[in-house]
Copies of this chain bind each other. A is one copy, B any other.
Amino acid sequence: MKRTEIATVLKEEKIGEKILIKGWVKAFRSNRFIQVNDGSTINNIQAVLDFENTDEATISKINTAAAVSISGELIASEGKGQRVELIIEQIEILGEANPEEVSKTVMQPKKHSLEFLREQAHLRFRTNTFGAVFRIRHGVSFAIHKYFNDKGYFYIHTPIITGSDAEGAGEMFRVTNLDAKNPPLKDDGSVDWSEDFFGKETNLTVSGQLEAELAAMALGKVYTFGPTFRAENSNTARHLSEFWMIEPEVAFNDLNDNMDLAEDFLSYICKYILENFADDVAFLNEREIQEQKSKPQNERNELTLIERLNFVIANDFERITYTRAIEILHNSKPYKKKKFKYPVEWGIDLQSEHERFLVEKEFKKPVIITDYPASFKAFYMRQNEDGKTVAAMDILFPGIGEIIGGSQREERLEVLKEKCAAFNIAEEDVWWYLDTRKFGTAPHAGFGLGFERMVMFVTGMTNIRDVIPFPRTPKKAEF
């Protein structure tokens, strides 16, 4: 007999059918009811054991975390908590689990700290919470590919190892296979990178945008979805050293098109997850409600997870310029009462406290801030007519902060060259990027979505380390 997945069994409810399931024991109670899960769904199937007619050796091995193979007949359940159950005809223990050892792991069904779960990242997939998180992570990823594919975008794999450092998005990791202790040196005593694997100094990419632009200026609509890296020593709940990013880039789009795309895209993901991962979302929604109970009233979320997802789907994002944002902050209560830690002044980047005020207090919804001062934005962002600001946009989400950063790109060769000079970027380092402005340049725009931040938003998890299977952070590269 071929194995049926538990998700299928529970969905189809074919009463009277003989089936074979395989999975792991989640619980065994009253010497009769075995809860089995195979990862295909958060829901367990209840298998009913004929205790009298099962040999003792087998029964002694039906422990939490053991792998079992069970065949029998599916019947309507009269018990509470499940609509069907499986009357066991044959049970085989595929893999044992020693109860004492299991009790030291996260598989023991009780409340564990997220820190403890992270230390056992290899086993946390087996818990309800992380099963749900990683099924949803898959769902977000598929929704992204499906959204772009259905709209005629082409997925571009931009390079991970790069010899270019023009992006300037942050500190980079070096990729090398020179001798670590005694690297070859040039006459002047500096390291001779020409001897390295790629014949020059190379790093891990911080963004695929520049390369994506090259593709967009030929294929029209493209997106990247790949790992990016930051060698920054920031140990926060919102930062990873290795994370995934999605970067659509569209020829002929301006900043408004870019905002429309981003908003539609984010709504689509929320809708897709609500529709396709309802059980997992319901579980995480309930989990959050329970968690919130232990928090002081003023720290609790105003909306539940499901309400927040529906809110993004139902409401337009607020769109304001940076200049307007500064005005609003100047007129705000916390500013007047000197509650902001950092200064609020035109020309200075917004701090987290300012963004949170705008999103969580002033507008109470996602906010798109546009047209930032050129001084603290990247060289490739399109200069506005005022000469001071650029056609940039950041999207801020409640509880998450910046989830998307993007811009219309500078398509005018002469302006771009001036920007390179101002940013100390040598033209010979970006000749290939400048070339696209020489041969049929056109307006174009794009943005970057931090994948893990999006997964945080749709799962309600509050630490970014809990939405990626094996987090990489300063001093941590386990598994």
Contact = CB atoms under 8 A, between A and B. Distances in A.
A470 B175 contact: no
A294 to B, nearest CB: 27
A52 interface: no
A425 B25 CA distance: 31
A157 B244 contact: yes
A32 to B, nearest CB: 20
A183 B180 contact: yes
A221 interface: yes
A105, A131, A141, A411, most chain B CB atoms within 10 A: A141
A141 B470 CA distance: 24
Interface stretch (A43-51, A211-219, A313-321, A327-335): A211-219
B198 A158 contact: no
Contacts of A474: 197-198
B160 A227 contact: yes
Given A96-B440, A160-B227, A439-B102, A180 B178 contact: yes
Nearest to A24: B440
Interface stretch (A122-130, A355-363, A384-392): A122-130
Given A126-B218, A218-B131, A241-B197, A159 B94 contact: no
Given A145-B145, A214-B122, A175 B178 contact: no
A409 to B, nearest CB: 13
A149 B199 CA distance: 40
A218 to B, nearest CB: 3
Interface residues of A, number: 110
A20 B175 CA distance: 46
A5 interface: yes
Interface in A390-438: 411, 432-433, 435-438
A281 interface: no
B173 A173 contact: no
Interface stretch (A161-169, A299-307, A369-377, A456-464): A161-169
Nearest to A151: B5
Contacts of A123: 214, 218, 435, 439
Nearest to A276: B149
B138 A5 contact: no
B40 A231 contact: no
A119 to B, nearest CB: 10
A181 B190 contact: yes
Contacts of A142: 145, 149, 155
A152 B191 contact: no
Contacts of A154: 39, 134-135, 137-138
A476 interface: yes
Contacts of A134: 154, 156, 215, 219
A67 B95 CA distance: 64
A146 to B, nearest CB: 8
19 contacts: A39-B221, A40-B152, A67-B441, A94-B442, A98-B438, A122-B432, A125-B219, A126-B218, A135-B154, A138-B154, A145-B145, A160-B204, A161-B477, A162-B477, A173-B197, A177-B231, A211-B479, A432-B478, A432-B479
Given A94-B440, A95-B440, 17 more contacts: A22-B442, A38-B220, A39-B220, A66-B440, A98-B438, A122-B432, A123-B435, A126-B218, A131-B218, A137-B154, A137-B155, A161-B204, A161-B242, A164-B479, A174-B176, A174-B180, A176-B176
Interface of A: 3, 5, 7, 22-25, 38-40, 65-67, 69, 94-98, 101-102, 105, 107, 122-123, 125-126, 131, 134-135, 137-138, 141-142, 145-146, 149, 152-164, 171-178, 180-181, 183, 185, 189-191, 197-200, 202, 204, 211, 214-215, 217-221, 226-227, 229, 231, 241-242, 244, 251-252, 411, 432-433, 435-443, 468-470, 472, 474-479
